[in-house]
Structure 1
Amino acid sequence: MSISLSSHVLDTTLGKPAANMKLVLTTHNGQVIEAQTDDDGRCNDWANFSFSAGQYCLRFYTKDYLLSHHKEAFYPFVDVNFELTENGGHYHVPLLISPFGFSSYRGS
């Protein structure tokens, strides 16, 4: 079973997806992959990276998005650290944001 990763960013203040947000994934072996959310706030484009078990960090660059939509941004970025396991299947890492808060969980 292969391992895959997706993400989705939702603006909880507006009740809408956060489009065009820069994301940076740092892999367990130190590789850095830049990506961006699409018009629906989703991202699953990791430059054809082949995922394997290990610890990863997904950095969401929230400041520009929050400033442009809310004129305020307490968090310039949000790091979500997580661990993928062998035969873990699909992993989904959503981020819920507002100018003064955020939340993440393992989605499906």
Structure 2
Amino acid sequence: MGLSTHVLDTMHGTPAAAMQVALYATHGDAATLLKRVTLNADGRNPDGPLLDDASLKAGTYRLAFEVAAYFRARGVQLPEPPFLNEVHLDFGIAHGGQHYHVPLLVSPWSYSTYRGS
């Protein structure tokens, strides 16, 4: 189970294939990079969960999604600076033994997230 993410491009109505995502463990203002991935054609980590059950510990984390770079690579003309450059989602894991899924629905101008299943 562990921690997973899935990104959908709401501008094009497709998964956000090739978007770069970084996962950090956070402690106050400090952030430690745990993993950097490039999403597959389904908008997911090609290697499965970002963290498996054994690695997912209670604590605080951040997912950083490179939104502007993704849309520019898709040929979208963005202003400079872009409205959304990187989307950072800071979230907490209360119980390491549970599955946490953090999806992102994103366009160049908006995003939403929730705890998925």
TM-score bin (small chain)? 0.7 to 0.9
Contact 1:23 1:58 in 2 (8 A): yes
Identity of counterpart residues, as a percentage? 39
Quote the offset at 1:79 in angstroms: 0.3
Q: 1:52 aligns with which of 34, 53, 57?
A: 57
Alignment of 1:11-90 (within 5 A): 11-28=9-26, 30-32=31-33, 33-43=35-45, 44-46=48-50, 50-69=55-74, 70-72=76-78, 73-90=82-99
Q: Normalization by structure 2: what TM-score? A: 0.79
What RMSD in Å do the two structures reach over aligned CA positions? 2.1
1:107 partner letter: G
State the SS of the aligned residue for 1:51: coil
Q: Normalization by structure 1: what TM-score? A: 0.85
Going from structure 1 to structure 2, the CA distance change for 1:55 and 1:66 (only over 3 Å counts) comes to same
- Structure 1: segments with no counterpart, 5+ residues: none
Quote the offset at 1:46 in angstroms: 3.3
- Structure 2: segments with no counterpart, 5+ residues: none
1:67 partner letter: R
